[in-house]
Amino acid sequence: MFPVAGLGSRFLPATKSIPKEMLVVVDKPLIQYAVEEAKAAGIERFIFVTSQGKSAIEDHFDRLPLLEQTLEKRKKINLLSKIIETALPPSQAIYVRQPFPLGLGHAILCAQHLIQEEAFAVILADDIILSQKSCMKQMIESYRPGDGNMVATMMVEPEHVSRYGILTVESEEDKKVRASAVVEKPTLEDAPSRFAVIGRYILKKSIFGFLDRQNPGAGSEIQLTDSIQKMIPETALTGFSFDGERYDCGTKEGWLEANIAFACQDENMLSYLGPMLRRYALAHDF
């Protein structure tokens, strides 16, 4: 499931007409990185929770016959293959609307009728993770029934804990963090740790019963973490410390850094990027 109904206010005016999930990192929109991560994890059905003005996301994963025909006529086979690979078959892509911006928990609840499995994955496109093995694949391979609800986690700087859901750590074993609680966006003084919840989840289907009764929390929104908390201890909460570098593309700084990091993975881009960065560093005395 991809909750993509957010307003993207941090990137206004760009996101006035373009969904924030369609912001490009090097040569692909954020939502494509998220879908590719899910595919790499073996996921075959993709649910997009959208809102008004997000039709560009649906268009992006659709076939474009006119464009394909033009590329074929011009013998641009490499570009043609990239376009075709981007498309999702109608049987795999499902789109559902979140009518009001009531938070992540509410967005997930909007797709309740589409979930048939006992557990399902959620990927937030804002969080882009550069890794050899996709973060979601790491989580799925590590997941065991006793893990309950699993969230990706990482240590954050003390001044940043108020931006995240923060875990109360009970124990650590290898890459798994057993948590006895999670609190949404605590102050530094109230934060139980620096283990922050990142935008990757494996959730038990039973969470819908809690989301359906959930009162608004932080920001007057239906917070996913509040329902995860209410499921403890009957349903365990496990943090997973993934291998990879995460970039918060919900911020301008994170989006800019992601562009640089992913450009560094492309040899053709790297030959240009190095001299460019040195030029700006000298010009602005970084």
Q: Is residue 280 part of a domain?
A: no
Q: Which amino acid is at 47?
A: I
pLDDT score of 31 more than 90: yes
Q: What is the pLDDT of residues 207-225, one digit of tens each?
A: 999 998 877 666 667 889 9
**CATH assignment of the domain containing 41:** 3.90.550.10
Give me the pLDDT at residue 126, please. 93
Give me the pLDDT at residue 268, please. 84
Give me the pLDDT at residue 217, please. 63
Q: Is residue 286 part of a domain?
A: no
Q: Is residue 42 part of a domain?
A: yes
Give me the pLDDT at residue 45, please. 94
Which residue has 């499921």 as its token pair? 231
Q: What is the pLDDT of residues 74-114, one digit of tens each?
A: 988 988 988 888 889 888 999 999 988 888 999 999 999 99
Domain that holds residue 223: 2-250
> What share of the chain has pLDDT > 70, as a percent?
98
Residue pair 249/25 in contact (Cβ under 8 Å)? The answer is: yes
Mean pLDDT, rounded, for 246-269: 92
Q: Is residue 221 part of a domain?
A: yes
Residue pair 46/88 in contact (Cβ under 8 Å)? The answer is: yes
Mean pLDDT, rounded, for 248-275: 91
Structural domain count, the chain: 1
Residue pair 177/242 in contact (Cβ under 8 Å)? The answer is: no
pLDDT score of 281 more than 80: yes
Token pair recorded at residue 251: 């911020």
pLDDT score of 168 more than 70: yes
Give me the pLDDT at residue 218, please. 64
Q: Is residue 215 part of a domain?
A: yes
Q: Is residue 224 part of a domain?
A: yes
Give me the pLDDT at residue 75, please. 87
Residue pair 166/183 in contact (Cβ under 8 Å)? The answer is: yes
Give CA–CA dist 280/286, Å, rounded: 8
Q: Is residue 206 part of a domain?
A: yes
Q: Is residue 209 part of a domain?
A: yes
Mean pLDDT, rounded, for 22-45: 94
